Structure 1
Amino acid sequence: MMSSCTAGDSGATGPGVFPSRVGVLRKKKRGLPVIPVITVLAVLLFTSFGRAERAEGIPGEGGEQGWVVVDHLGREVYLEAPPERVVGLSRQFMEEFYAIGVIPVGKVEEYNNRPEMNALPSLGRQNSPDIEAILAVQPDLIVANVRQHSEMTEMLESMGATVAFVDPSFEGDNFFTDRVLLFAALTGREEEAAAYCDHIRSVLEEVQQRIAPLGYERGIIVQGGSEMIQAAQPTGLYGALLPSLGIKNVVPANLPGSGRSTFVTYDIEAITEADPDILVIRSAGSGERNLERLRASYMDNPLWQGVRAVRQGKVFVLPQRVNPGNLSSEEALRITADVISGN
C-alpha cells in the first residue's frame, strides 16, 4: 500500500518519497530451482541518492526474493531477507532505527537517550568502533558512516554481515525522513516507516504553524563565539532544524570542511552580510544560568553588534540536550520551536 509519503511531498515540509519499496530493486534469489514462469516487473526505484528510476524486464528465477538497496557510496547492497540483528555505527542512526521499531544489538558510546538502548553492549566510539565487540553481537546488517568508516569497508564486510554506508552530508528531500526511509528499505519495515512519515508530517505542520506568526525568514545556528565561529551547514540535524520550522538557513552548502562535520568555520563578516533575522546558539553546557551567560556573551560582544539579529535581541540558546544521540530528531525540533517561540 502506498503511504502518504509521496513524490509530491518534497521540500522542508514534505516527508519525501515513499513508494512501495523505497530505494529497492527486487531481485530473485539466485541458485534456486527455476520455476517455468517469467515475470516482467516494473518497479519504481527510489535510491538513497533521491533519484527516481524505473527498472523493467527483471526475470523471475524462482525461490525466495531478495532486494537491492543503493547506499550513499553507490554500492548495491543485497538483502536476502529482513535482517534481525542490526548495528548502526552512529548515535543518530540508532534513533532512526528505533523510529521504525528496530532495536539495534549494540550501541556506540556516544549514544545516551533511551534506557533500553543505553543498556545495550558497547561497540566502542563512533570514530573508532571496537571490531571484536561488533563481532561478539553477531550482526547481520551493519550501517556505517561514510565520514568515519569508509576506510573500514573490507574489515566490516569480512564479518559476514551485510554492510551499508550512509553519508551524513547527503542532502535529500527531508532530513527527518530520508534516512528513516533508507533504513526501512534495508530492513523491510515499510509499514512502520509509512506510519512514521505520517506522524512527522503532522509534527512539521504543527511547529511551522507556531513559528510562522513570528515572521522570522532567515536564521543561523552557531557555536563558538569570538576566537572561532562555526555555523551549521544545511545538512545533518542542526542544519535541518531552522528550515523545518520554515526559516531559511543562511549558511550555504559545500563549504570547506563540510564533508567532515555538520558545523563548519564561518566568519562574522559572512554572517553580517547574510543578515539573519535570528541567531541560534548551540550550547555545550547545561543549566539555565549557563544558557543565560552564553546568550549574554553574544549580546555584549562588540564583534556581534553588526548582526541585526543580535542588535534586535533575537538571540536564542539551545540547551545541551539538543544533541544527536541525546534525543530523537522530533524532540530536537520541538525543543527548538519552544526556545524560539518562548514557550
Structure 2
Amino acid sequence: MRAVYLILCLLFMSLLTTGQAFAFEDNESEARYLLSQGILSYLQNKGQSTPSLEELREAASLYPEYPRSITDSTGKKFVFYTPVERVVILNTNAADAMTIIGADRLIVGVAESVKEKTLQYPQVSALPSVGKFSEPNIEAIMALKPDLIISYINWPDPAKLEKHLPSSMPVLRMEFYKANNYRTEIESIGHLLNEEENTGRYLTWYDKYFNLVSERIADIPEDKRVRFYAESGSGKSFGRRAYGEGTGLDDLCTAAGGVNVARGYIKDYADVENEWVIRQNPEAIFIWSSKGGYTTDERSEVIALHDNLISMPGFNTISAVKNKKVYVLTPEFAFGSSSPVALIQIASWLYPDRFSDINTTALHHEYLANFTHTSKEIWDSGTFYYPDGKD
C-alpha cells in the first residue's frame, strides 16, 4: 500500500515539471500526465469527473499502461484509469471497428441491427440485445454493466441515452464509416482498448490502398475528373434521393477522384428533381443500397435498384446510363473497414486504365480472410456491389 501512495505522490510531483503538454510521444508520457491530472483533480475535489481514490490506486498499479484517454468525434474527451473490459455497441459500424482491431471479445451487448447480421458477425450477433440503435433499452444496457458504450454521433439522442446513465457508463460517439475521419477513429479506439498491434496491422493495409489511389489520380486536373451523381433511389417526397457533400458516399467517391455534380447544390441528403439529374448529365452514377452485403438472398433487390434507375423516363440520355457506368454499392462494402477495397473498385470504374492491374475480387477476399470472421460462403454468394461479374 505504501508503494502505491509513493507512486501517486511522485506522479503528482511530476505534474509540476512536465508542463501542460498534450501531444504524447508514448503510453508512458500520456499515462504520467493523465494520472498526475487525476491526482490533482482528486485533491481539489472537482466534482463528477473526479476519479475515485480506488481508481487512482489501480491506475498507479497499472502504470505506465494506464490511464489512457480518447476524444470522440464530438470533441468530448474521456479518461480511463483502468482497462475497458465490457463494451456495449449500438450499431453495426461499431461492431465492424471492434472486430477489425481484435477487440470484439470485449463486447457484451449489441443493438438489434447487429443481431441481424449473423453472417457478418457470427459470434457477436449472438450476444444480448440492448434495443434499437436509435431507441436503446436503458434497462438492458445497465444490466450488462458496461465500462463503455459506443454510438453514432447523432443517434440516439442524448435524452434517450446519456441522460439515463451513470457517469460510470460513458458514451463514446463515433461514426466508423466516413472516409474523412475513419482512420483517426480507428487509431483512437485501438489505443484506448490496448489493441495497438492489431490496429497497426490493419491501418498499414488501409494506408497502402488509400495512398495508392491518391498517388495514381494526383495528376488528373479538376476539370478532367469524372463527374458523378450519387443517390439511394426514389426521393422521400419527390424525384430522387441524392447524396451531397458530408455523406459517406460522397467522401469515398471524391477520394477515388470523382467530382459530385450535387456539390454546392445540396448538403448531406436531399430530394432532387429527375429533370435536374438529367440536366447534370453525370458520367458515372453510384447508388447506395441497404440490401445485399453479408447476405445470400438479396441479390435481386440490389439489381432492381440498378435497373430501376436506368429505366427512368429520360435517364437513357444521361452519359452514365448510355455508357453503362451505373453502379450499386452496399454499406458493408463501401463504408468502414472494407472501404479501401471499395475505394479501389470505385477508382477502377472511374479510371479503368489506371487501375487495370488490381484484382478487386481478390483484394476483397484478402480483406475478408484477414480482418473478419466470415465464412467462404459469404465470399462467394454475397452481393457487395453491382455489376460484379457474377451474372
Match among 187, 192, 195 for residue 198 of structure 2:
192
Q: How does 1:67-86 map to 2 (within 5 A)?
A: 67-86=68-87
Assess if the C-alpha contact under 8 Å between 1:78 and 1:162 holds in 2: no
Partner residue of 2:308 out of 260, 284, 297: 297
Q: 1:296 to 1:204 in 2, by over 3 A?
A: same
Q: 1:201 to 1:58 in 2, by over 3 A?
A: closer
Structure 1, unaligned stretches of length 5 or more? 1-28, 47-56
2:321, 2:206 → 1: CA distance? Answer: 32
| CA gap 1:75/1:174 in 2 versus in 1, 3 angstroms | closer
CA contact (8 A) 1:147 1:168 kept: no
Taking a change above 3 Å as real, the CA distance of residues 334 and 102 of structure 1, as seen in their structure-2 partners, is: farther
Other-structure match for 1:10: none
Q: Which runs of 5+ in 2 are unaligned?
A: 26-32, 40-55, 219-223, 293-297, 349-359, 361-384
Q: Please give the per-residue CA displacement for 1:275-320, whole angstroms capped at 9, x wherever unaligned.
A: 4320122335555555444333322322424533223332123368
The DSSP-based 3-state class of the residue aligned with 1:105 is strand
Matched, 1:123 2:102: no
Aligned residue number for residue 52 of structure 1: none
Residue in structure 1 matched with residue 18 of structure 2 by the alignment? 40
Normalized against structure 1, the TM-score is what?
0.68
RMSD of aligned residue pairs (Cα, Å): 4.2
Question: Contact 1:73 / 1:165 at 8 angstroms: preserved in 2?
Answer: yes
Q: Closer, same or farther in 2 for the Cα pair 1:288/1:90, shift >3 Å?
A: closer
SS at match of 1:44: coil
- Is the alpha carbon distance of 1:284 and 1:87 closer, same or farther for their aligned partners in structure 2, counting shifts above 3 Å? closer
Identify the match of residue 162 of structure 1 among 152, 159, 170. Answer: 170
Provide the residue aligned with 2:142 in structure 1: 135
Q: Which amino acid aligns with 2:197?
A: E
Query: Which amino acid is the alignment partner of residue 197 of structure 1?
Result: L
Percent of pairs identical after alignment? 22
Q: 1:120 to 1:310 in 2, by over 3 A?
A: same
Do 1:77 and 1:163's aligned partners in 2 also have CA atoms closer than 8 Å? no
The structure richer in helix per residue is 2
- CA 1:193–1:152 in 2, change beyond 3 Å: closer, same or farther? same
Distance 1:211 1:289, change over 3 A: farther
Query: Partner residue of 2:151?
Result: 144
Shift of 1:140: 0.4
Distance in 2 (alpha carbons) for counterparts of 1:96 and 1:76: 19
Please say which of residues 232-241 and 84-93 is displaced more in the overlay.
Answer: 232-241
* CA distance in structure 1 between the partners assigned to 2:181 and 2:76 by the alignment: 21
Q: Is the 8 A contact 2:328 2:387 kept in 1?
A: no
Q: Partners of 2:304 and 2:251 in 1: how far apart?
A: 26
**CA separation in 1, counterparts of 2:386 and 2:261?**
17
SS at match of 1:151: helix
Q: Tell me whether 1:106 sits opposite 2:109 in the alignment.
A: yes
Alignment of structure 1 residues 222-233 onto 2, 5 Å: 222-225=231-234, 227-233=238-244
Q: Which amino acid is the alignment partner of residue 307 of structure 2?
A: A
- Deviations 1:218-246, CA, capped at 9 Å, x for gaps: 32321224744112334454333323433
Letter in 2 for 1:90: N
Q: Does the C-alpha gap of structure 1 residues 201 and 68 become closer, same or farther in structure 2, counting only changes over 3 Å?
A: closer
Residue deviations 1:63-96 (CA, integer Å, cap 9, x gap): 4552443323332212112311122212111101
Pick aligned residue for 1:311 from 295, 312, 322 = 322
1:218 aligns with 2:227: yes
The residue type equivalent to 1:311 in the other structure is K
**Which of the pair has the greater relative contact order for Cα pairs under 8 Å at 6+ separation?**
1
Q: Contact 1:175 / 1:240 at 8 angstroms: preserved in 2? A: no
Pair member with larger Rg? 2
Question: Could you say if the C-alpha distance between residues 320 and 70 of structure 1 is closer, same or farther in structure 2, counting changes exceeding 3 Å?
Answer: closer
Deviation for aligned residue 1:207: 6.7
Point out the more displaced range, 309-318 or 288-297. 288-297
Corresponding residue to 2:253 among 214, 234, 242: 242
Looking at secondary structure, tell me which structure has more strand per residue.
Answer: 1
